[in-house]
Structure formats: C-alpha cells, structure tokens
Structure 1
Amino acid sequence: MGHIKLTNVTKSFGAVDVIHGINLEIANGELVVFVGPSGCGKSTLLRIIAGLEKPTGGELAIDGKVVNDTPAADRGLAMVFQSYALYPHMSVRQNLAFGLENTKMPKAEITQRIAEAARMLEIDAYLDRRPGQLSGGQRQRVAIGRAIVRRPVAFLLDEPLSNLDAELRGSTRAELSALHARLSATMIYVTHDQVEAMTLADRIVVLRAGRIEQIGTPLELYNSPANRFVAGFIGSPHMNFLEGTVESVQSGKAVAALTGGHRIELPVNGANVTGGSRITIGVRPQHIAVGSDGSGMAARIKLVEALGSETVIHADVAGQKVLVVAPGQHSLTPGTELRLSLSAAPLHLFNEKGLRLDHVV
C-alpha cells in the first residue's frame, strides 16, 4: 500500500499552464521531497495527489487504481498543512478523534488509536488542552497525530515546519525522520528549504516552473547535478559559478580563461567541449582553498563571517561574487586581497545552456 504514480500530469488555471507533463513514481514506504523555489508548482502537485485539485490532463494512480475522479476523502490519504488546521475550540483529544468519529468508528478503537499516536509523538500530557495552549511545535505534533490516527495509504505534508523557529524546526525535522522510520509509510513532503530536503528525503524531486529538473537521492543531486539550476539550489551555502571561455582542447584537457584573466586546466575526457565555447565552472564554497603561496585567483574580500568552527568569506573575483567556507578561524579584513585556489576542488562543468557536461573533474 502507498504506491503512487503520476503519468503525464498537467494542470492549467485558465490559460496559465502551471504543471507540465509530470511523470513520477513513488514506491511504497518511500519518503519523497518536492523542492523548488516559490511558484515552482510543488504545492499544486501535492494538492493534485491529495484530490484538492483536479489535473487538467494525465493520470494519477494510487496502488494501481486511477483516482483522477475519486474525491479527496476517498483516496485514503492524510494531509498535514502548513497552518496546522486544528479546531481551536476542541481539545487535542477531540481534534485527534474528530475525523474518526465521522467514519462511525467504534469508540474503543478511536481511544486506542489516539493513545498510540499520543505515545508515539509524546503529546500524552497535552490531550486535554486546546491548541491555543500549545507551542507551535506541540501544535505541529497534534496535526501530524491527526494524520497518523487515520492510518492512511500515504502522508502528504505541505511545508509543515515553516512556522517554527530555527531550533524547533531542526528538532521536529529529526522527529519526522524517526517517525517515518517507525511507520514505514509513504510520505510526500513539500518544502522550499533544501536543507530539509537533504536531511529527510529518500529521493528529492527538484521542480522549476512546473517541470521536473532532476530526481535522485540527496547525494546524487549534490554530487551530480543535472544542470546549473539544480547545482545552485542543492547545497548550503549555494554553489559558486565562474564564467569562462575554452581557449584550447588537447589530449583530453582544456584550458579555460575565466573572467579576470585567470586560466585553469580542466580534464574533459568525454565532455563535449571545443575551443571558443563558453563554459561555466561550478565549485562549492567548502572546496575553495585560501591560497598561501601567492597562486590562484586574485580576490578582494567584501565581508567576513566568523562562526568559530569555520569562516565564511564573501569575495569579489573580477566582478563575480564568490563565497568561500574555510575551516577554522582566520584573521581577514574586508577590503584586502587574497588568493583563492581551485587546484584540489571538485569542479562541475556546465555548457552555455546550463546543462551539466558529462562528469565532475
């Protein structure tokens, strides 16, 4: 139970197309995260799966049954909203019981399910309180508990942690991950926060403008982004991009001139690179070294963030912004120059269209 398949799913609001031919299969027990910038269609796609929106075209199947015309209440899914959507005049116990009572479930079964969910989420002590007497994190647990007691085919979570502060968001994220492991249930989780996506997902679906850019495990997307968009979206801080032109290609190696005149040699075996072509070199902030021997790219420091265990350097390289995360503590002053070395860094190559070349060098 919990297998979900979308085949050529589209959605339009009037003349505006917002979802463009989505093909996606989610296995039973998998935790899949939809991630992307605001307006990319991730919440609309979740609402289509939930039955709150009807697709304009294509098919949606749950456990092999096409459910395009099946009402939301009959799909066997449970949704957790960003706003919690709890009844303020009811106690926690009543909130958890409400949906079950509507199905005419025996009282003994309702009591048992509430007790199990409350124990699992550690909200036993709050069952007689009202939502207004709870913290944001406690209310979020109640909202999740209301979904758990229904024992759904799959859980749909729409940015459930966005109303929590940073510390509580981190701890609740860990609780959600542990909950998924205990339940072995299918979960689809929507967020714009790629850190949440990286830490929670079995697989991530990266969306942009209603289209899937890439699907893969968190590390597949981090290590082998399909294009510049995915490379810039996955990873924190985001990847740096240096623009350049290939000057020559010989014996599987290319020499590229970056903006500002710095030259770099790149092994490009198997990559479609020719002399004169524009190229973008992607490098993560953690992989740039601060040069100590005078070699590397000349950079001017714009801002220094001393975080104790690491130092974040905002620099300018010939008009291009470059972010460096250097381990440890460094005495650096804004306005001064330093050298940045890419010699030991894994580099990601992208062509003029932003598509990833064949491999990371």
Structure 2
Amino acid sequence: MSNLALHQITKRFGAVNVLHGIDLEVRDGEFVVFVGPSGCGKSTLLRIIAGLEAASSGEIRLDDRLVNSVSAADRGLAMVFQSYALYPHMSVRQNLAFGLENIRMPKAEIEARVMEAARMLLIEPLLNRRPGQLSGGQRQRVAIGRAIVRRPGIFLLDEPLSNLDAELRVVMRAELAALHERLDATMIYVTHDQTEAMTLADRIVVLRDGRVEQVGTPLELYNKPANRFVAGFIGSPRMNFIEALVDRASLDVGGRRHGMTGIELAPGTPVTLGVRPHEVDITDVEDGTLALEITLVEQLGAETVLHGKTHLGGNFTLTSPGQGRFAAGDRVGLALPSELHVFDAQGIAITPR
C-alpha cells in the first residue's frame, strides 16, 4: 500500500487551464473516487498521478517521495483503463504475464502471481482464451488482473465500468468493492456516475472545472453538501431547488411561509432552498401549499417518481413509496420537510447556528 499527497497541482494545455491548484491526500488502504461532470479534469488528474501526463506546477508525493520527475513505469502504480487495453493477439495468461516478463521476473514467480490473480478474479477457465473470445465483464476482470499481478502501491482506475451494460456494472461494482477489501489496497477511481461513487468510495472528491468542490465520505456529501453544485450532483434523483426570500423568522416561498431555524439573514435576502425528492410529502392542493403539476410519471414498482413543475415555474421531482395512481396533468400539493438545505446567492451552503 501507499499514500499519495498532491500539493497545488495545476495543468495547462496551451492557453487553457485544466486544473487549478489541486490539494489532496489519499491515505493507505483508502478507496477514493474522483467524480464530476465530463470535462471537469478528473481523468487528467489521474493521468498526472500515474505519470502519463506532467503537471504544469505543484508537487506529487508517494510515501513522502517527490515523484514529479519519476517515470510512470517507476512509480509503482498500476492503471486500469476504460478501454481494457488488452493485447488482442495474446492469451489471457500472456496478457497477465506480459508486464512481469518485461521486468525479467523469474518464470516461477510470474506463474504464481498469474494464478493468484486468476483465482481471485475467477478467470482460471479463461487463461488460454484471447480477448476477442471474452465478454465485456471478462475482459475487465483480465484488465484488473493485469494490475493485480504487479502488486502496485496504488491502483488507478479510469472509468473501468463505463463500457458495460447496466446489470453487469452493478455486478462489477460489488466485485471491485470485495476486491478492495481482500487486497486492502489503495485505490483511486474515476467516474462520472455518482451512484458508483456513493457505493464504492471511502471518500469522494467532487471536481468541477478543474477545482475541488468538496471532499468527504459519501454520506457527508449527501447530508452536508458544501454548495449547490455538490448538492445537485450527489443523490439520485437529484436535489430540487426553490428560490425564496428571508422574511424575518421564516422563508417566503412564492408567497407561502416556511419555518426557518438557526439561520440569521437580513429580511429580503434571496436564498435557494434544497430538498431531496424523497423528503417531500404529497398533500391536497390548498391555499398556502406549494402546488405541482405532474408532467411525467415513472412507475418503478417499489416506488413512483413524479416529475413536474411547481406553480412558481421551476422543475421539481419527488418520489412516492409504492405504486401510486398518478397521471400527467394531475395537480398535487407538496409538503416540504421542516429542515431544508439553504444556499446563499453564490450557491454556498448556509449552516444553521
């Protein structure tokens, strides 16, 4: 295992700044996930850690050793790519062994490591097949096995499940989590899928436009997002946002009053309220309630997801347990929870006192 420390990492491609002063520490044995929308810099940051890209400035330390000038091959890391990157003319056994043969490891040791990885990943029956004879999930296991045999200090995984179908992604997520537990390894994983981040990570690093928005455990980010971006990115369905004004000891939500606890702002201050879809109760449409006109109903069996627009004009999503009898065009009242996420005009979370 290894630990990693990044200090003020920047990256420029010509006149374009891609990363802006990234500070991060990854501890021994952690499973850390980089998450964010496409183009936020997460894969570039992973490639800089791997040594496949050079940082424009800043320090990269592995176990307190400065490695900015150390080649990718000498950093003691292993990378698993989205595209699998297997050699099509080689068997699975040869793909697993190839990197070890290049460093002239003894044949007996290579065979022992290959068989250990094959047993761990349940690919022993596949050792004599070529990649073209494997399914997507089997190819991904081989790609991970090629990393395992190197016994790296840190595993780097760049969207390794994105080419798999939805059902297989769920299976492979569980296998990756179990593999991390068995190896007790340090892993850094890149994805744009916040569900993968929530289910796999010890800590999540949320990136936007080359900057770290927040770092924390999955539940820390879900329960206490630092800003509106993190609040809207973490959680599925995504958080709803409603514009409101502070009105003395309450909030004015389109002419409706809602209680406000522990937030000290001047009357008339504009704020944004955040409420998660499962926190809303459905009521009758009455004076003083927030009304929703349903535009889409998703019947998922165990729950019903309702999409629509409030009378204030904003889009809104809520979930209702079970199989509710709703249809597009219906109007329902929305009872907001007593505790809401509140964000200021800059989108920063306002913490109750």
TM bucket normalised to smaller? over 0.9
Q: 1:172 to 1:345 in 2, by over 3 A?
A: farther
Q: Distance in 1 between matches of 2:265 and 2:161?
A: 44
Q: Residue 50 of structure 1 contacts residue 79 of structure 1 at CA under 8 Å; is this kept in 2? A: yes
Which whole-Å CA distance do the structure 2 matches of 1:292 and 1:224 have between them? Answer: 31
Number of aligned positions between the proteins: 351
Deviates more, 1:212-221 or 1:311-320: 311-320
SS in 2 for 1:246: strand
In the alignment, the residues of structure 1 paired with residue 352 and residue 279 of structure 2 have an alpha-carbon distance, to the nearest angstrom, of 17
1:279 aligns with 2:271: yes
Aligned mates of 1:326, 1:353 — CA distance in 2: 32
Q: Which residue is 1:149 aligned to?
A: 149
Which has the larger displacement, 326-335 or 118-127?
326-335
Shift of 1:345: 5.2
Which residue of structure 2 aligns with residue 104 of structure 1? Answer: 104
| Matching residue within 269, 290, 296 for 1:297 | 290
Instruction: Tell me which residue corresponds to 2:208.
Output: 208
C-alpha separation in 2, matches of 1:163 and 1:340: 39
Q: In the aligned structure 1, how far is the partner of 2:178 from the partner of 2:148?
A: 14
Alpha-carbon separation, structure 1, partners of 2:322 and 2:182: 38
Structure 1 residues not aligned, in runs of 5+ = 249-253
- Among 279, 289, 305, the alignment partner of 1:312 is 305
What's 1:251 paired with? none
AA at the equivalent of 1:33: V
Cα root mean square deviation, aligned: 1.2
Q: Does 1:338 align with 2:332?
A: yes
List gaps (5 residues or longer) in structure 2: none
Identical aligned residues as a percent: 63
Please name the residue that 1:322 is paired with. Answer: 316
Q: Partners of 1:139 and 1:345 in 2: how far apart?
A: 49
The residue type equivalent to 1:255 in the other structure is: S
1:210 & 1:112 partners in 2: Cα distance? 42
Q: CA deviation at 1:98?
A: 0.3
Verify the 8 A CA contact 1:311 1:330 in the aligned structure 2. yes
- TM-score, scaled relative to structure 2: 0.97
Q: SS of the counterpart of 1:335?
A: coil
Partner Cα distance (2:57, 2:130) in 1: 42
Match of 2:252 among 249, 257, 272: 257
CA contact (8 A) 2:299 2:323 kept: yes
State whether residues 348 and 359 of structure 1, in contact with CA within 8 Å, keep that contact through their aligned partners in structure 2.
Answer: no
Q: Distance in 2 between matches of 1:58 and 1:272?
A: 40
What is the 5 A alignment of 1:44-63?
44-63=44-63
Structure 1 residues 88, 359: closer, same or farther in 2, change over 3 A? farther
- 1:242 aligns with 242
Distance in 1, matches of 2:265 and 2:160, equals 44
Cα deviation for residue 247 of structure 1 reads 2.1
Name the SS for the 1:311 alignment partner: strand
- Of stretches 215-224 and 307-316 in structure 1, the one that deviates more from structure 2 is 307-316
Residues 287 and 346, structure 1, Cα contact 8 Å, conserved in 2: no
Are the equivalent residues in 1 in contact too, given 2:285–2:332 (CA < 8 A)? no
Deviations 1:27-79 (A, max 9, x none): 01101000000000000000000000111111000011000000000000000
Q: Could you tell me which amino acid in structure 1 is paired with residue 260 of structure 2?
A: L
In the TM superposition, what are the counterparts of 1:1-361 in structure 2 within 5 Å?
1-248=1-248, 254-259=249-254, 261-267=255-261, 269=262, 271-292=263-284, 294=286, 296-317=289-310, 318-342=312-336, 344=337, 346-359=339-352
Aligned-partner Cα distance in 1 for 2:19–2:264: 32
TM-score by length of 1: 0.95
**Distance across 1 between alignment mates of 2:266 and 2:322:** 40
Residues 141-182 of structure 1: CA deviation (Å, up to 9, x unaligned): 000000000000100000000000000000000000000000
Equivalent pair of 2:259/2:338 in contact (CA under 8 Å): no
How big is the shift at 1:272? 4.1
